[in-house]
């Protein structure tokens, strides 16, 4: 399965080639029309997304599936997600305290690919004021060990391995190939 992952940069739509994708994933801070335009350009009808801290509070339009605190399976690969970022300002959409995220993720089922707007704490963070990661993500990775953890928000293109989990920070767009059905070492992020 070829996945086109998008995050934090509406300008990406001008650079994307017409290479097809089996799934488009948005990690937040992208306008809905841009997500839909990128899906059309990739000739893809299946789109998963989470909201970022700069996104509107309204629901995603069809065919975008909001993956926040839900699980969807595609070709035997389980995807789950979480929207938003750390509450770095008093008002706004999709802003969470650390304890809120801990509570919301308690009991969240295991997935192969976890998509989030924010990063795990101390992973790819740019600062601890606006871009602080979530402690609960670190605990989830330790307990569940998803094969891939994809995030935006930090405005970095960086890969980190934590145990069996490949944590991928994305700014703009990135292609990821997942061989199905999922087996050990079958998930591979391409630069």
Full pLDDT tens readout for the chain, 191 residues: 999 999 988 666 656 667 899 999 999 999 999 999 999 999 999 999 999 888 889 999 999 999 999 999 999 999 999 998 877 777 878 889 999 999 999 999 999 999 999 999 999 988 777 778 999 999 999 999 999 999 998 889 999 999 999 999 999 999 999 987 655 445 555 54
Instruction: Tell me the pTM.
Output: 0.89
User: Quick one: DSSP state of residue 109?
Assistant: P
Domain containing 119: what range? 2-189
- The pLDDT of residue 127 is 77
CATH number for 6: 3.60.21.10
Rounded Cα gap, residues 22 and 102, in angstroms? 32
At residue 115, the 3 state secondary structure works out as strand
Phi/psi-derived region of residue 79, left when phi > 0, alpha when psi is between -120 and 50, beta in every other case: beta
**Do the beta carbons of residue 115 and residue 67 sit within 8 Å?**
yes
Q: How many domains does one find in the chain? A: 1
Side-chain-facing half-sphere of 3: CA atoms under 13 Å? 25
């Amino acid at each position: 399965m070829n996945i086109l992952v998008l995050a934090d940069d509406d300008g990406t739509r001008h650079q994307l080639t017409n290479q097809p994708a089996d799934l488009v994933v948005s990690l937040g801070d992208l306008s809905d029309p841009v997500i839909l335009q990128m899906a059309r350009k990739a000739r893809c009808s299946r789109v998963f997304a989470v909201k970022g801290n700069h996104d509107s509070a309204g629901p995603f339009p069809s065919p975008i599936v909001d993956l926040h605190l839900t699980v969807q399976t595609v070709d035997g690969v389980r995807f789950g997600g979480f929207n938003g970022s750390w509450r770095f300002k008093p008002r706004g959409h999709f802003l969470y305290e650390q304890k809120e995220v801990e509570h919301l993720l308690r009991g969240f089922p295991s997935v192969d690919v976890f998509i989030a707007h924010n990063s795990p704490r101390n992973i790819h963070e740019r600062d601890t004021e606006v871009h602080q990661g979530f402690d609960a993500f670190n605990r989830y990775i330790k307990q569940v060990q998803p094969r891939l953890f994809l995030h935006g928000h930090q405005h970095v293109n960086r890969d980190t391995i934590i145990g069996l989990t490949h944590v991928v920070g994305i700014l703009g767009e990135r292609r990821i190939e997942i061989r199905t059905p999922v087996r050990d070492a079958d998930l591979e992020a391409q630069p």
